[in-house]
């Protein structure tokens, strides 16, 4: 019987997709995936270090594995992802029961997992990952993630990513085109292009050029991308968002703060005013665009006035959704050594105000969609109710509908009958 791997993924979409790549590599090594840790011969923790909370969660899970390995000494434990990259062999000091440490640029180190002679730590700089076509084991579906670039060059002062994922490195356009064509052949209808900063994609063509190429892949009806950096959002990209039929009317454009002085100290390289100009341009050229963002509450030096500016910005822009986080000092980043006078309670209060305001805005925006007719791509049964199917609009809103016979992968027109807090209820039009 083949060996089994259990992969526990922490953090972002990039990590979820890296886990799909690890599963692909391991499939070639004869491993099947399991969702039962008891059955596993290999456990992989794909870690995230973007905030302290994610890091703590991982360490407590890893600690729990110690007793587990005592009972089953042949079990192999691998630590992958951003914490692996940062900590390298230090992982073994904290967890001698771990077997292998591999960073995000060294996923192929899993190829030797069954050999005792393999290296125990693989965290070297490996930009050639951008030209390797790694096998990917995707969960079957209608929507697939495709990496277009690795790393980040921006060094926002709070962010650990440039230290863990290295410098920007784009995949050749041809390789991406090939992968997307293959996905279309397999029946996928939507792709999401992934990169820390997709707008600075640069290979045979630039990012708008890549979108133009992918627009021509027959069978792919929707193209999404994350994440965009406001400083690199060019007029050409805005033009293609409005002109290319496949590119969806949604952008995730992290604002981080509504205060230009905090943005400066975050090293974001834009002011609130220049961000607003881009928002207006986007709305002018892509009228029904939905916009989502990331916000950090309680960055070092953030005054009450700065915080109010963030709330004001949110009222002005009316994002469709936000991800908001309390500032979390990451060792080795510039912001970690900035004077941080706010208490945890103050940061929590600011975060709470941000989330509460956004709830109001989301609810209002969702309610305004009641009675409208939208097209959704059905992704499958709803997670919470077996009698419902769930799908997404081009603007990335989740809509549930009563179960239908065409099911997964169908592109259907629905009327929105009721707005809920985080989703919409629809009924299919005949
Ligand atoms: N503290 C809080 N939030 C952070 N993010 C990145 N680093 C930190 C940090 N140190 C947030 C940013 C980014 C998102 C992916 O995570 O908002 O856009
Ligand atoms: Fe981090 Fe800034 Fe790069 Fe995003 S753009 S990964 S926030 S350094």
pLDDT (tens digit per residue) in 100-109: 999 999 999 9
Q: What are 48's two structure tokens? A: 């995230």
Cβ–ligand 1 distance for 297 under 6 Å, the answer no
Is the pLDDT confidence value at 178 over 90? yes
Mutate which of 53, 86, 159 for ligand 1? The one with the most ligand atoms within 8 Å of its CB, which is: 159
d(CA 368, CA 362): 10
**Strand 373-381 to strand 411-419: parallel, antiparallel, or no bridges (unpaired)?**
antiparallel
Q: Is the CB of 44 under 6 A from ligand 1?
A: no
pLDDT at 407: 79
Q: What is the whole-number distance in angstroms between the Cα of residue 158 and the centre of ligand 2?
A: 8
Residue 218 pLDDT greater than 80, yes or no: yes
- pLDDT for the residue 129: 87
Range scoring the smallest mean pLDDT among 323-327, 403-407, 422-426? 403-407
**Would you state the pLDDT for residue 403?**
82
Q: Is the CB of 165 under 6 A from ligand 2?
A: no
Structural domains of the chain sorted by starting position, each given as residue range(s) with its CATH number in brackets? 3-123 (3.40.50.12160), 134-367 (3.80.30.20), 373-428 (2.40.50.140)
Ligand 2 lined by 323 (C-beta under 6 Å): no
Average the pLDDT over 286-299 and give the result.
97
Q: What is the pLDDT of residues 2-57, one digit of tens each?
A: 899 999 999 989 999 999 999 999 999 999 999 999 999 999 999 999 999 989 99
> Which atom belonging to ligand 2 lies closest to the Cα atom of 229?
5
CA of 295 to the centre of ligand 1 (A): 8
Summary count for the chain: helices (H), strands (E): 12, 19
Please tell me if the CB atom of residue 137 comes closer than 6 angstroms to any atom of ligand 1: no
- From the alpha carbon of 50, which atom of ligand 1 is closest? 7
CA distance 306 to 259: 5
In the structure encoding, which two tokens stand for residue 345, read together? 């309670």
**Residue 158 CB–ligand 1 contact under 6 Å:** yes
CA distance 249 to 195: 18
Residue with tokens 């609130």: 272
CA 149 to chain CA mean position, Å: 13
Residue 1 has pLDDT above 70, yes or no: no
Q: Which 3 state secondary structure label does DSSP give 255?
A: coil
Q: What are phi and psi of 301, to 5 degrees?
A: 85, 0
Take atom 1 of ligand 2 and give the residue whose Cα is closest. Answer: 159
Strands 3-9 and 42-47: parallel
Express each pLDDT in 380-395 by its tens digit: 888 888 889 999 999 9
Mean pLDDT of the chain: 94
Q: How confident is the model at residue 112 (pLDDT cuts 50, 70, 90)?
A: confident
Q: What backbone torsions phi and psi does residue 2 show, to the nearest 5 degrees?
A: -65, 160
Of the listed ligands, the closest to the CA of 49 is 1
Long-range contacts of 390-396, Cβ-Cβ distance < 8 Å, separation of 24 or more: 390/423, 394/222, 394/248, 394/249, 394/250, 395/248, 395/249, 395/250, 395/288, 395/289, 395/290, 395/320, 396/224, 396/248, 396/250, 396/290, 396/292, 396/320
Predicted local distance difference test score (pLDDT) of residue 117: 67
- Contact residues for 2 (Cβ-Cβ < 8 A; gap 6+): 30, 31, 32
The verdict on the CB of residue 299 being under 6 Å from ligand 1 is no
Pocket mutation for ligand 2, best pick of 12, 161, 254 (most atoms within 8 Å of C-beta):
161
**In the predicted structure, residue 357 carries a pLDDT above the cut 90:** yes
């Amino acid at each position: 019987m083949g060996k089994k791997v259990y992969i526990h993924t922490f953090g972002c979409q990039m990590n979820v997709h890296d886990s799909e790549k690890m599963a692909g590599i391991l499939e070639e090594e004869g491993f099947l995936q399991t969702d039962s840790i008891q059955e596993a011969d290999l456990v992989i923790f794909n870690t995230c270090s973007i905030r302290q909370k994610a890091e703590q969660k991982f360490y407590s899970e890893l600690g729990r594995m110690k007793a587990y390995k005592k009972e089953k000494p042949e079990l192999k434990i691998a630590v992958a992802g951003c914490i692996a990259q940062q900590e390298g062999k230090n992982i073994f000091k904290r967890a001698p029961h771990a077997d292998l440490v591999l960073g995000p640029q060294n996923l192929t180190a899993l190829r030797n997992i069954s050999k005792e002679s393999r290296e125990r730590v693989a965290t070297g700089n490996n930009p050639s990952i951008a030209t390797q076509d790694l096998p990917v084991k995707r969960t079957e579906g209608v929507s697939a993630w495709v990496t277009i670039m690795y790393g980040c060059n921006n060094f926002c002062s709070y962010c650990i990513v440039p230290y863990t994922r290295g410098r920007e490195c784009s995949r050749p356009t041809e390789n991406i085109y090939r992968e997307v064509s293959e996905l279309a052949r397999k029946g996928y209808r939507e792709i999401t292009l992934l990169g820390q900063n997709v707008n600075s994609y640069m290979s045979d063509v630039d990012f708008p050029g890549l979108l133009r190429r992918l627009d021509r892949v027959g069978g792919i009806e929707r193209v999404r991308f994350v994440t965009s950096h406001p400083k690199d959002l060019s007029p050409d990209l805005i033009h293609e968002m409005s002109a290319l039929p496949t590119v969806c009317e949604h952008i995730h454009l992290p604002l981080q703060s509504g205060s230009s002085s905090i943005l400066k100290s975050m090293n974001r390289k834009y002011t609130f005013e220049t961000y607003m100009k881009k928002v207006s341009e986007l709305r002018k050229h892509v009228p029904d665009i939905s916009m989502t963002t990331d916000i950090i509450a309680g960055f070092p030096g953030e005054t009450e006035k700065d915080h109010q500016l963030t709330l004001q910005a949110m009222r002005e822009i009316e994002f469709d959704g936000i991800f908001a986080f309390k500032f979390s000092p990451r060792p080795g980043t510039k912001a970690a050594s900035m004077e941080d006078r706010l208490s945890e309670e103050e940061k929590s209060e600011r975060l709470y105000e941000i989330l509460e305001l956004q709830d109001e805005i989301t609810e209002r925006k969702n309610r305004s969609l009641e009675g409208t007719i939208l097209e959704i791509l059905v992704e499958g049964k709803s997670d919470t109710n077996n009698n419902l199917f769930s799908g997404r609009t081009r603007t990335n809103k989740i809509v549930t509908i009563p179960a239908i016979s065409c099911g997964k992968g169908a592109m259907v027109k629905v009327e929105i009958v009721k707005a809920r807090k985080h989703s919409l209820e629809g009924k299919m039009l005949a």
